[in-house]
Structure 1
Amino acid sequence: MDETDRKIIELLAEDSRRALADIGAVVGLAPSSVNERIRRLTASGAIRRFTVDTDPAALGLPMLVYLWLALREDADEAAFRRFAASHRRVLECHHVTGAWSYLVKLRVGAVTEIESVLAELKAGRFLGRSETVIVLSSAVAGPHVPAPGV
């Protein structure tokens, strides 16, 4: 991957519907060359998908919530991962180091939905303990393409 590929990815992260001619004008390539690079980046897995950036508040999901979770010692971890992957409110689920087992990112419409998710975790016999963090505002929010290097 070279700097041109990185710039193409950055431009697509800003707007995945951006015209190939527009991208080509920025990076100095013909639209057909940009298309070939995008095809190659997708085939290699560098670009995993094209998506839509929505306004959560407009969708009735204004609350961003993080759950720190420690699983029960007898929890079926594979079943927990399936639960998280299929839950309609879970945006991300990360296995982490430290005192917690997982960090789960949720989008909800109200505090009662947080309680519902916690109740589902308890009913599935996954939850040992948890800590809930409700986001008040976001100083920086994705999508991001990290700069290469240090």
Structure 2
Amino acid sequence: MDDKDRKLLSALRHDARASLSELAGLLGVSRTTVRARIDRLQARGDIIGFTVQVRGDTHRDAVRGLMMLGIEGRGADRIVRHLSGISAIRAVHSTNGRWDLIVEIGTNTLEEFDDVLSAVRRIEGVSTSETNLLLNTKKQVG
């Protein structure tokens, strides 16, 4: 990935609906080159999709938190698959350090949030966990 690809990704993060002409002008290349770069970035998996954020999405989850998980053995892939099936889980991240996975959770109520925590803790192979509620988002990217 070169500087033009990074600049293109930055522009798309800011406005994924920007026209090829706008992006071409920003990068100083042709529309065809922009299209080819986007296609290449998608084919390589650097761009995995495009999305729309609506006002309701930012207020969708009244209760949000991060759950850090310690995994025993080599069951991380199986646990990630299991976590992916829980609708209140917004994202699962692998990490380094003390924790093996960081799970983003969003629910409407504290009771629902607690139910999700309990369900995750019951997954075979989850050995330890720590959870932090997110109180306020100072900056949203994307």
TM-score (normalizing by structure 1): 0.77
Summarize the Cα distance change of 1:69–1:41 in structure 2 as closer, same or farther, 3 Å threshold: closer
Aligned to 2:100: 101
Give the CA deviation at 1:74. 7.8
Whether 1:64 aligns to 2:64 is: yes
Summarize the Cα distance change of 1:12–1:125 in structure 2 as closer, same or farther, 3 Å threshold: same
Count matched residues. Answer: 141
Give the CA deviation at 1:75. 9.2
Summarize the Cα distance change of 1:35–1:97 in structure 2 as closer, same or farther, 3 Å threshold: closer
CA–CA distance in 2 between the matches of 1:79 and 1:116? 21
Aligned to 1:85: 84
Aligned to 1:34: 34
Segments of structure 1 that go 5 or more residues without pairing to the other structure are: 144-150
Q: Write the deviation string for residues 85-138 of structure 1: whole angstroms up to 9, x where unpaired.
A: 222121222233444332111122221121111221244345433322111112
Summarize the Cα distance change of 1:37–1:96 in structure 2 as closer, same or farther, 3 Å threshold: closer
Whether 1:137 aligns to 2:97 is: no
Segments of structure 2 that go 5 or more residues without pairing to the other structure are: none
Output the amino acid matched with 2:85: S
Does the CA-based 8 Å contact 1:65-1:108 persist in structure 2?
no
SS of 2:69's equivalent?
Answer: strand
CA RMSD, 1 decimal: 2.4
- Identical pairs, percent: 25
Give the CA deviation at 1:52. 2.1
Does the CA-based 8 Å contact 1:70-1:130 persist in structure 2?
yes
Summarize the Cα distance change of 1:25–1:57 in structure 2 as closer, same or farther, 3 Å threshold: closer
Summarize the Cα distance change of 1:41–1:96 in structure 2 as closer, same or farther, 3 Å threshold: closer
Output the amino acid matched with 1:84: L
Summarize the Cα distance change of 1:122–1:43 in structure 2 as closer, same or farther, 3 Å threshold: closer
TM-score (normalizing by structure 2): 0.80
